[in-house]
């Protein structure tokens, strides 16, 4: 069976400084994300249910996974999917290359880009405990700012994730300690709006 692999980053661990520090990025990628990949692969071992399924399909349909494997699929499949998206929407220095389509949609559903950023920040900052803040497209094709607990993926709720911000302490504790709002403020400085636009398209 095909095994999942840790994706390579398009930038060095130190490239997101001073917003995200090199040490956090390295541990986050090579330890935390690698562990999700390894544990997902271990859960798939010898299980035909996983044959021929993409990561998206596995994550979205986690409740149909074999008994005894569901928790592993939700936690580690979700973890692999969430982090793979997260690395891609980050870029050194950030970029504002938002597509006209996404910009118009944000203005339609939030009023302005500023309001959208506020709503995602709010969802992420008020989420209690470990989890993620998201900008998603819901089943009615409307944009929403939501949060998910633990490593639950928006795909598990029928949402299409466009942008996600990891609010597990492992994502920010070394540099920001308990100051999640400061980390969230930094996040917008390394956001790749071009990739978010690609996720929307």
Residues interacting with Mn ion, by CB under 5 A? 166, 168
Residue 170 counted as an annotated binding residue: yes
Secondary structure of residue 95 in the 3-state scheme: strand
Helix (H) or strand (E) holding 34: helix 34-44
CA distance 164 to 88: 10
Nearer to Mn ion, 28 or 69 (CB): 28
* 11 vs 168, beta carbon nearer Mn ion: 168
Nearer to Mn ion, 109 or 166 (CB): 166
Residue 126 C-beta: closest distance to Mn ion, Å: 19
CB nearer Mn ion, residue 143 or residue 171: 171
Token readout for 42 is 């271990």
Dist CA 41 CA 2 (whole Å): 9
Least Cα distance to 130 among 156, 157, 149 occurs for 149
Measured from the Cβ of residue 107, the count of other Cβ atoms closer than 10 Å reads 13
Kindly state the smallest distance separating residue 83's Cβ from Mn ion, in Å: 6
Q: Which residue is nearest to Mn ion (CB)?
A: 166
Question: Whole-angstrom Cα distance, residue 79 to residue 83?
Answer: 6
Minimum CB separation of residue 164 from Mn ion in Å reads 10
Which stretch of DSSP H or E encloses residue 145?
strand 143-149
- The verdict on whether residue 166 carries a ligand-binding annotation is yes
Least separation in angstroms between residue 113's CB and Mn ion is 26
Residue ranges for the known binding site for Mn(2+) are 28, 83, 166, 170
Residue ranges for the known binding site are 28, 83, 166, 170
């Amino acid at each position: 069976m095909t095994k999942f692999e840790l994706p390579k980053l398009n930038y060095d661990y130190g490239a997101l400084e001073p917003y995200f520090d090199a040490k956090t990025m390295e541990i986050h990628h090579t330890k935390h994300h690698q562990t999700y990949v390894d544990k997902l692969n271990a859960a798939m071992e010898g299980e035909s249910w996983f044959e021929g399924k993409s990561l998206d399909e596995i994550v979205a349909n986690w409740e149909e996974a074999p008994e005894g494997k569901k928790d592993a699929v939700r936690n580690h499949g979700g973890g692999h999917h969430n982090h793979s998206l997260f690395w891609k929407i980050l870029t050194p220095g950030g970029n504002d290359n938002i597509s006209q389509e996404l910009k118009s949609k944000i203005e339609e559903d939030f009023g302005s880009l500023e309001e959208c950023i506020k709503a995602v920040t709010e969802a992420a900052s008020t989420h209690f405990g470990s989890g993620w803040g998201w900008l998603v497209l819901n089943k009615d094709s409307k944009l929403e700012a939501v949060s998910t607990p633990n490593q639950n993926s928006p795909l598990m709720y029928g949402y299409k994730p466009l942008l996600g911000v990891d609010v597990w302490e492992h994502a920010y504790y070394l540099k920001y300690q308990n100051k999640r709002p400061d980390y969230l403020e930094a996040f917008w400085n390394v956001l790749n709006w071009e990739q978010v636009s690609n996720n929307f398209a």
